[in-house]
Amino acid sequence: MLAWPRQRLDPAPQSAQSAVTGPVGPTSPRSEPARAAEPVVDGATENSAPKPLPSLKPHRASASQRAADLERLTSETDLNGFADELRARADAGDADAAWMLADLLEGCATMAEIATMGAALTQQFDSMRVMGYSDQEIALLQTSLHRWTGRCSTFPARSREAWRAQISSSRTRAAVLGHPGAMLMQPLPRGPADSPAVVQATQRARDAGVTLLQQGDALDLLGYAPQLARLSGYGTDSYLMAACSLLDGCLRDPRAYALTMDQDQFLIGLSNSFLELSELSPRRRLIVEAQSAEILRLWRARQYEQLLGGSGG
């Protein structure tokens, strides 16, 4: 419905990340991060995907560093320069830097894509009007779009394929370095649900999800909603509502909250997801509210294994 993809909500196209079609990374994210020599399974093959050099130590950035990075993402005027910094840190083994670099690149790739849409973009906004968005709300989105397009303009022009390759490379690196979000977003191998490869990959994703949720960040319920939903059986929109419930002022008017939040975080596309909450049918809303309440109960009780244990389905 929106003109732009929602970042982090969908895995990169299969063709662009063949290296991550099979599990890459540790059996449990709570153990040591993945090493380059770790074997890949179920069709995943060696390729040019980045591997940590033997000399570097895969690590997570500190919470304060992550917060500072997020702040820079929303305020930095030279995003290309910031990307270079993140790349250097990723090269030194910082999983969070690799992950944020991927988000940044994907956001700017989206902006580059939008810049070429022309009349199609106008049509998208018209569509939103038909769906009941006011001119004021559309204007808010357009302002965000304009602002972020400008911030991304420091990147040299490149093809869609070049953007995609860089994004894929950075996401793969983040997974190899043990970023739980990256590991959670790895596509499951194809095959029957009870095949050993799928079972193992699902368990790895579940472990990564638990590690991610242990960070206690409400935005993770938002940013990884589809992946968490896939593991647990609760709906994606239920995770969105759970996240919205944890953010002051969101539940009262998710659409207004999303549009305001977009001013700051448009690039990583998280808040766009809240728009969906204003589009629920009456029947679906009943289900989502009930599931959201259970997600929140388990999340607050730190019962993450139970949350991702499939009880929602």
Partner 1 sequence: MKSRVWLLLLLAAVLLLLAVGSDDLANSLARLSTPSVAPAASDSSAAGSDGRTAHTSGNDADPAALASSPTAEAIEPFAPTVAAAAMPLLKFNAAQARVAMRQRWREQDCQMARLYSTPTFVQRREQEWRWLPPDLVEQERRAVAAALTRLTADCPGEITDKAQLIRRSQESQAVLAAARTAGDLYARMEPARRGRDTAELAAEARATMYDVVLSGDMEAIARLGRLDFLLQNDAGTQSIDMFVDGSSLWPMVACDLGMDCGPASRALDQACQQIGNGCGYPSLEALVRDRSPPWQYRLTDQRRREIVARIRSGRIAGMFEPAPPPQPPSDGRP
Give min distance, CB of 57 to partner 1, in A: 44
Give min distance, CB of 97 to partner 1, in A: 36
Give min distance, CB of 279 to partner 1, in A: 4
Give min distance, CB of 137 to partner 1, in A: 9
Closer Cβ to partner 1, 162 or 290, answer by number: 290
Q: Which of residues 118-177 bind partner 1 (CB under 8 A)?
A: 123, 126-127, 129-135
Closer Cβ to partner 1, 75 or 127, answer by number: 127
Q: Give the binding range for partner 1 (CB under 8 A) out of 23-31, 170-178, 191-199, 286-294.
A: 286-294
Give min distance, CB of 7 to partner 1, in A: 20
The pair of three-digit structure tokens given for residue 265, joined into one six-digit string:
């975080």
Q: What are phi and psi of 76, to 5 degrees?
A: -65, 130
| Cβ atoms of residues 81 and 154 within 8 Å | yes
Q: Give the binding range for partner 1 (CB under 8 A) out of 25-33, 34-42, 215-223, 284-292.
A: 284-292
Cα-only R_g, the chain: 19
Closer Cβ to partner 1, 130 or 157, answer by number: 130
Identity of the residue numbered 151? R
* Residue numbers at the binding site for partner 1 (CB under 8 A): 1, 123, 126-127, 129-135, 233, 279-284, 286-287, 290-291, 313
